[in-house]
Every structure is written in structure tokens, then in C-alpha cells.
Amino acid sequence: MYRPPAFREDRLEVLHALIDSHRLGTIVTHGANGLEANLVPFTLDRSRGPHGTLKAHLARANEQFAAFRDGGEALVIFQGAESYITPSWYASKQEHGKVVPTWNYVLVEARGRPIVIEDPAWLMAQISELTDINEGKRPDPWAVSDAPGPYVAAQLKGIFGIEIEISRIQGKWKASQNRPEADRAGVAQGLSAEGQTEMAALVERR
């Protein structure tokens, strides 16, 4: 990943926080069928490995299963907030006009070797954890135990799990850090006016 110094992010707690808030990752592998990619929701175990361990489950019919079995390295990309940035928001547009559009975004890349897991108890635990995370703040949260036991057991037969102990992790926070202060203020104001509050807050913090 191309990371100019202004946009580098290597603080593990910041990278983990983005994974927690944007769990749907793109997992990319290279195997006998060439490059393959799928969108998969992940949970993160901070206690395992120096950079943490990612956990997920996929359908057995997924053709990427063979690539996981081969044991090659996988790349998982977590995309956070992203926004088009118009030069009309820059104070420097009025000063000299030497400005162009760009795109702000934040993302994390994590790499490691997936291990395939087919243990029903592990699968049940991972699915329950992922469900509880996403249902926990709802007024009437749904739980895996709400579904009939035989139905859940049958569903588990159609999936497999993966664990990826993260060997390398890096982030890129492109949030107008390379612009003058007046330009950054204009970007934050413009984003807020368009309802893009997450990116606006990132620009203000950076």
C-alpha cells in the first residue's frame, strides 16, 4: 500500500478500533484459481498474537475454500470512512486556484495465513460472538439461541471457519493532513454540511 508519511497510521490500538467499527473486510487470496476476494464480517481477538487474530466463517460452497486449505498468505482490507473532496472547499482556491479534487479515506490492511476450522463448537462461538456484537445495542436483540437448535446445527454444516493470526498490519488515514489549516477547516465544514460527519470528525482530529 502506498503510504506517504503524512498518511501513515501504525498505532495498533487505532488500527484495531477501525476493524471493530468496520467489521466487513475484503479477504484476498491467491491460489490455484488465481486471485479471489470475498466480503466477510470478522471478529478480532486482541489477546492472540502480537497483532491480534481475525476470526470469520464462510459458506462451504465458496470457491475460496481451496485457497484457505492451501495455507497461503491472505490479505484482509477493512475500509473505513471515505469521501470525495472538492477543491471548492479550500481557502487556497480563492488565493491562487492551484488546487485539484481528491478523495479522503481510511483503511487497514492485515496479512496472515488462514487456518481452516470445522469444529462445530468453534463455529457456534464465533457466530454467537459476531451476532452479539451487532445485536447488543438493539432494544430487542436477537440471539443465535432464539433459533431452533436442529436448524442451527444444520446451518453449521454448511459453513467453515478461519482464523488468521495477523503477521503484518498497517493503516492509511488520508484525511487532508497535507493541506494548510484553512483548507482543512473548509473541508471539515463542507463535509459536515453534506452530512458526512465521520470524515468531517477525522479531518478535524488530524
pLDDT-based confidence at residue 32 (cuts at 50, 70, 90)? confident
Helix or strand holding residue 159 (H, E): strand 159-165
Q: Is beta strand 102-112 parallel, antiparallel or unpaired with respect to 34-41?
A: unpaired
Q: Which of 82-113 are b and which e, b meaning 16 or more Cβ less than 10 Å from the residue's Cβ?
A: ebebebebbbeeeeeeebeebebbbbbbbbbe
pTM for the model? 0.93
Whose cell is 481477538? That residue is 45
Q: What is the tens place of the pLDDT at every residue in 81-109?
A: 999 999 999 999 988 988 999 999 999 99
Asked whether the beta carbons of 43 and 60 are under 8 A apart, the reply is no
3-state SS assignment for residue 82: strand
**Tens digits of residue pLDDT in 171-206:** 999 999 999 999 999 999 999 999 999 999 999 997
Q: Which helix (H) or strand (E) holds 146?
A: none
Find the mean pLDDT for residues 59-73. Answer: 93
Q: Cα–chain-centroid distance for residue 147?
A: 28
Task: Say if residues 200 and 192 touch (Cβ distance below 8 Å).
Answer: yes
Contact in structure between 103 and 85 (CB atoms under 8 Å): yes
